[in-house]
């Protein structure tokens, strides 16, 4: 196979860029008179259709960590990594049914605004500052780094810094147009990444078919994967016994079987999809029916993601085990699972490689644009407008938001120039999951109890956040050394380097449980006479679904159940 991109590949990629840029500019000019309005700029209030909301949700979510990181985990773990995608689909259903009515009824535009409305200004300010740091120094930075690495590998491996700057400029062009431009260009982005991803998976399966004597038959190739790598088509890993290999232990530590379903996987997904400015912002400007339909549409799209990003990794694993891709899977002389996707792309014919690179770029740019817009929204509405310039006009707020977008992307480029955070060493998927996981189980209880328990107080919320973050660090770094590797609460497993670690998703479940208990106890003991000033769930909150929405929910849940039954 010829891995290098040819002139026709670059032509396809340039055409993609021109189409997106032209369409984005057309959307911007069409609504130019409204861009001075801050609500319109940040939320595109009333302007996004359900299909634009759903597509934007997925485009913002799917990025290099999925195409590269999750495909790499497909190489190592197999279909089990799809739990992140299929549980996300169920989480989107829960968010659409239970969370969005509360947000929209109370006209919530940002997550700090929710915390202020439900608790008080202090809780909102703490979280606004925290989210800004998290979004800039973890999410935006890692997405840009991984994206530049991935495209750099596809283009020959000699232009990392130029590619990083190019991605940032591409995202900047889209982001400065506001949420309408992001939302509607995301529709094309999702179409491109879906078509490109499906073609890549199809070609990978046909290569497997050809390699093992079935001809160019993708179905036969898929069946061969199941036949020769049955361990890569198991959704739930068994708890390691006394004679378990280090690989079995490592696999379980990454995805700890049924134990992760007790809380950890749900905390990660519900916090991401329901309490994350970056995600919920797409639906906050719509009416309830439109928002719900868009969210449920996104749930359908999430069900397809393993086909796009996990199957190529499994195909690369089987091919590698049988003597193919020996050089393509190496980095600095060692096997690197994150090379799985780019190695499979090498099988694509000329022109389609360009489409595949366009698909990857679409995913990266959409995520960068969405994250930058959320950073801008939180800073402009929850910090600048409240604490720096209370009298700022809409025009001034929008201008400030655009400046923050530019600054945040420049910061990400500077940090990534020499990989100051060590993202490359940790692996991007692990980097993002670990550092967002330090705070997800601390934040989610504050939202959950704020939604559904009237007695949760501001003092308890602040206490819970502090306790939760401290416990995340303790469980990750210190508890095994203090209490040992086997307790009534957890089992720590060998990490293969002389130490023991508690599986990450089990840590999240434990921290979530203790944070919930802390908030409940402090709330019940809070004798300050503080009013629970905003009961956000009364006065006609609508949890009932239309028949069309109910049908969508049933189909999504049925498909997830069917996948788990088939590949348990």
Residue 205 belongs to domain with CATH number: 1.20.1730.10
Residues 461 and 397 in one domain: no
Does residue 22 fall inside a structural domain? no
| CA 565 vs CA 93, 236, 561: distances in Å | 20, 11, 6
Does residue 341 fall inside a structural domain? yes
Does residue 12 fall inside a structural domain? no
Query: Tokens 């916090």 appear where?
Result: 271
Entry field: residues in the chain: 568
No. of helices (H) and no. of strands (E), the chain: 29, 4
Distance CA(252)–CA(260), nearest Å, equals: 10
Cα dihedral: 102, 103, 106, 111 (round 10):
130
Residues 406 and 439 in one domain: no
Does residue 54 fall inside a structural domain? yes
Instruction: Give the pLDDT score at 332.
Output: 66
Of 426, 444, 467, the residue that ends a domain is 426
Residues 356 and 442 in one domain: no
Q: Which tokens is 475 given? A: 């469980």
Distance CA(121)–CA(105), nearest Å, equals: 20
Instruction: Give the pLDDT score at 34.
Output: 45
Residues 356 and 470 in one domain: no
Secondary element (H or E) of residue 335:
strand 334-335
Q: Which tokens is 369 given? A: 């644009």
Non-local (6+) Cβ contacts of 315 within 8 A are 201, 204, 205, 207, 208, 221, 225, 344
DSSP 517-546: HHHHHHHHH--S-------TT-SS------
Residues 161 and 310 in one domain: yes
397 lies in which domain range?
Answer: 46-236+271-426
Residues 144 and 231 in one domain: yes
Helix (H, G, I), strand (E, B) or coil at 250: helix
**In total, how many domains does the chain have?**
2
Residues 166 and 64 in one domain: yes
Residues 444 and 394 in one domain: no
Non-local (6+) Cβ contacts of 497 within 8 A are none
Residues 185 and 325 in one domain: yes
Does residue 411 fall inside a structural domain? yes
Q: What is the pLDDT along the chain (568 residues), one digit of tens a residue?
A: 555 667 888 888 788 778 877 777 776 666 554 444 555 555 544 567 888 888 878 877 777 667 777 888 898 898 999 998 999 999 999 999 988 888 888 777 778 888 888 888 888 888 888 888 888 888 888 888 878 877 877 776 678 889 889 888 888 877 766 656 666 666 777 777 788 788 889 988 999 988 888 788 889 999 999 998 998 999 998 888 878 888 888 888 888 888 888 888 899 889 888 887 766 666 776 788 888 999 999 999 899 889 988 999 999 999 988 888 777 777 667 777 877 888 888 788 877 778 777 777 877 887 788 788 888 888 888 888 888 888 888 788 888 888 998 999 999 999 888 877 777 655 556 667 667 777 889 889 998 998 888 888 989 999 999 999 899 989 888 888 888 888 988 888 888 777 888 888 899 899 999 999 999 999 998 876 455 555 565 555 577 888 999 999 999 999 999 999 998 8
Of 395, 426, 457, the residue that ends a domain is 426
Q: Which tokens is 253 given? A: 């530590």
Distance CA(544)–CA(201), nearest Å, equals: 39
Ramachandran quadrant class, 213 (left: phi over 0; alpha: psi -120 to 50; beta: rest): left
Non-local (6+) Cβ contacts of 414 within 8 A are none
Does residue 311 fall inside a structural domain? yes
Exposed/middle/buried for residue 276 (C-beta within 10 Å: 0-12, 13-18, 19+): buried
Of 426, 446, 481, the residue that ends a domain is 426
Pick the closest to residue 386 from 113, 132, 147, 199 (CA basis).
113
Residues 101 and 145 in one domain: yes
Helix (H, G, I), strand (E, B) or coil at 36: coil
Residues 405 and 441 in one domain: no
* Dihedral sign (CA 150, 151, 157, 158): negative
Q: Which tokens is 184 given? A: 């509607």
Does residue 30 fall inside a structural domain? no
Residues 292 and 435 in one domain: no
Does residue 210 fall inside a structural domain? yes
Instruction: Give the pLDDT score at 43.
Output: 52
Query: Tokens 């109890």 appear where?
Result: 449
């Amino acid at each position: 196979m010829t891995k290098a991109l040819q002139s026709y590949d670059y032509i396809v990629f340039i055409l993609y860029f021109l189409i997106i840029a032209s369409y984005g500019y057309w959307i911007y000019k069409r609504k130019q008179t409204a861009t001075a309005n801050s609500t319109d700029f940040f939320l595109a209030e009333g302007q996004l259709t359900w299909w634009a909301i759903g597509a934007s949700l997925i485009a913002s979510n799917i990025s290099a960590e999925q195409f590269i990181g999750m495909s790499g985990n497909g190489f190592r773990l197999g279909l089990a990594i799809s739990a992140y995608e299929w549980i996300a689909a169920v989480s989107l259903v829960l968010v659409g049914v239970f969370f969005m009515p509360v947000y929209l009824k109370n006209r919530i535009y940002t997550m700090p605004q929710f915390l202020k409305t439900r608790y008080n200004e202090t809780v909102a300010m703490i979280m606004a500052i925290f989210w800004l740091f998290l979004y800039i120094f973890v999410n935006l930075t890692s997405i840009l780094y991984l994206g530049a690495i991935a495209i750099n590998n596809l283009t020959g491996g000699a232009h990392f810094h130029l590619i990083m700057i190019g991605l940032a400029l591409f995202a900047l062009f889209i982001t400065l147009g506001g949420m309408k431009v992001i939302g509607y260009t995301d529709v094309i982005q999702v179409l491109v990444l879906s078509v490109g991803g499906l073609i890549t998976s199809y070609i990978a399966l046909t290569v497997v078919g050809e390699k093992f004597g079935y001809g160019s038959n993708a179905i036969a190739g898929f069946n061969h994967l199941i036949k020769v790598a049955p361990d890569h088509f198991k959704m739930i890993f068994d708890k390691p016994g006394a004679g378990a290999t280090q690989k079995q232990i490592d696999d379980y530590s990454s995805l700890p079987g049924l134990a992760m379903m007790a809380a950890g996987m749900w905390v990660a997904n519900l916090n991401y999809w329901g309490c994350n400015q970056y995600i919920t912002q797409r639906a906050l400007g719509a009416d309830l029916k439109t928002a719900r339909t868009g969210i449920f549409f996104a749930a359908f799209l999430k069900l397809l993601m393993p086909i796009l990003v996990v199957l190529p990794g499994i195909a690369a694993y089987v091919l590698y085990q049988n003597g193919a891709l020996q050089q393509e899977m190496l980095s600095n002389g060692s096997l690197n699972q994150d090379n799985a996707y780019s190695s499979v792309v090498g099988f694509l014919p000329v022109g389609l490689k360009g489409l595949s690179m366009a698909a990857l770029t679409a995913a990266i740019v959409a995520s960068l644009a969405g994250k930058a817009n959320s950073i801008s929204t939180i800073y402009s509405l929850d910090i600048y407008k409240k604490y720096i310039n209370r009298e700022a006009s809409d025009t001034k707020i929008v201008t400030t938001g655009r400046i923050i977008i530019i600054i945040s992307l420049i910061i990400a480029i500077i940090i990534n120039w020499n990989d100051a955070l060590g993202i490359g060493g940790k692996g991007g998927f692990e980097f993002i999951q670990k550092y967002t996981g330090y705070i997800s189980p601390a934040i989610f209880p504050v939202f959950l109890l704020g939604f559904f328990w009237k007695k949760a107080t501001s003092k308890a919320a602040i206490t819970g956040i502090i306790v939760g973050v401290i416990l995340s660090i303790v469980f990750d770094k210190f508890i095994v050394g203090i209490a040992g590797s086997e307790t009534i609460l957890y089992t720590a497993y060998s990490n293969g380097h002389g130490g023991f670690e508690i599986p990450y998703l089990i840590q999240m479940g434990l921290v979530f449980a203790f944070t919930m208990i802390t908030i409940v106890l402090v709330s019940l003991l809070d004798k300050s006479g503080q009013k629970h000033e905003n009961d956000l769930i009364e006065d006609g909150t609508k949890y009932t679904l239309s028949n069309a929405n109910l049908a969508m929910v049933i189909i999504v849940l049925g498909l997830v159940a069917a996948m788990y039954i088939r590949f348990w």
